[in-house]
């Protein structure tokens, strides 16, 4: 992924900070669920008393695990893609196809943002009696915080998709081979180098891309 000092790259970095924070929260949620599992199983085996509401806490953590890292993954092009056909296309035709598919995803995500927000809004009714509010089955944890995370995560993904649309649009008009702030299709050697860079944690910001430590 190429970066420069332009406005698009600055916005890309700004959104990346938010995406990285969300991805970190997602990873922490997975870790905490592991801790809760150990506590629950240990309590069941040694004290005949599992952790109360363990399933409820899993239910609360599911949006964190499933959705909070989705924009971060989109930024690096790590979602499952079928590149067998696209890898044979170059230039403006490739960027036009990428623009069209990204626009389609953005439109779908905007609908999902609206739908998930209305789902949250129905559960966030503080005027309703306590017994009728949307809550978990065991220890009655309010579910609206978990439901709020879904449109929030989808909204950040929409920001990422908008930036990628901008970048693909620029690439269509300029005909560049290396657009800014979008993931590029990699061959096997490039994929191996990217994976090595992610494992080693080494980053060469002077070149504007991830490189493995050598």
Per-residue pLDDT at 100? 94
- Rounded to 5 degrees, what are φ and ψ at 104? -60, -45
Contact 158, 145 (CB under 8 A): no
Q: Is residue 45 included in any domain, yes or no?
A: yes
Domain, as residue range, for 152? 7-183
Number of domains in the chain: 1
Per-residue tens of pLDDT for the chain, all 214 residues: 666 778 888 999 999 999 999 999 999 999 998 998 888 888 888 877 778 888 888 888 889 999 999 999 999 887 777 777 777 888 899 899 999 999 999 999 999 999 999 888 887 766 655 545 677 777 778 888 888 999 999 999 999 999 999 999 999 998 888 888 888 776 667 667 777 776 776 554 444 444 333 2
Q: Does 66 fall in a domain? A: yes
Q: Is 196 part of any domain?
A: no
Whose CA is closest to 75, among 210, 199, 205?
210
Is 28 a domain residue? yes
Evaluate whether residue 70 is within a structural domain: yes
Non-local (6+) Cβ contacts of 155 within 8 A are 113
Task: Look at residue 188 and tell me if it is in a domain.
Answer: no
Q: Is residue 55 part of a domain?
A: yes
Could you tell me if residue 128 is inside a domain? yes
**pLDDT at residue 150 in the model:** 94
d(CA 46, CA 28): 27
pLDDT at 26: 93
Other C-beta atoms lying within 10 Å of the C-beta of residue 148? 18
- What is residue 99's predicted lDDT score, i.e. its pLDDT? 94
Q: What angle do CA 59, 63, 64 make, to 5 degrees?
A: 105
- Look up residue 37 and give its two tokens: 């599992």
């Amino acid at each position: 992924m190429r970066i420069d000092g332009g406005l698009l790259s600055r916005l890309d970095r700004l959104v990346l900070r938010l995406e990285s924070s969300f991805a970190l929260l997602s990873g922490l949620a997975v870790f905490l669920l592991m801790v809760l599992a150990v506590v629950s199983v240990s309590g069941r085996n040694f004290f005949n008393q599992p952790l109360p509401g363990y399933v409820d806490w899993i239910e609360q953590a599911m949006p964190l695990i499933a959705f909070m890292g989705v924009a971060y993954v989109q930024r690096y092009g790590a979602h499952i893609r079928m590149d067998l056909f696209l890898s044979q296309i170059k230039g403006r035709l490739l960027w036009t196809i990428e623009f069209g598919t990204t626009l389609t995803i953005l439109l779908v995500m905007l609908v999902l943002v609206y739908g998930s927000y209305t789902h949250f809004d129905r559960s966030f009714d503080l005027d309703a009696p306590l017994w009728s509010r949307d809550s978990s089955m065991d220890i009655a944890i309010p579910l609206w915080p978990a439901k709020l995370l879904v449109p929030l995560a989808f909204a950040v993904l929409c920001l990422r998709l908008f930036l990628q649309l901008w970048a693909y649009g620029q690439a269509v008009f300029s005909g560049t081979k290396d657009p800014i702030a979008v993931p590029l299709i990699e061959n096997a050697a490039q994929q191996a180098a990217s994976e090595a860079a992610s494992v080693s944690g080494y980053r060469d910001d002077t070149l504007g891309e991830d490189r493995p430590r050598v």
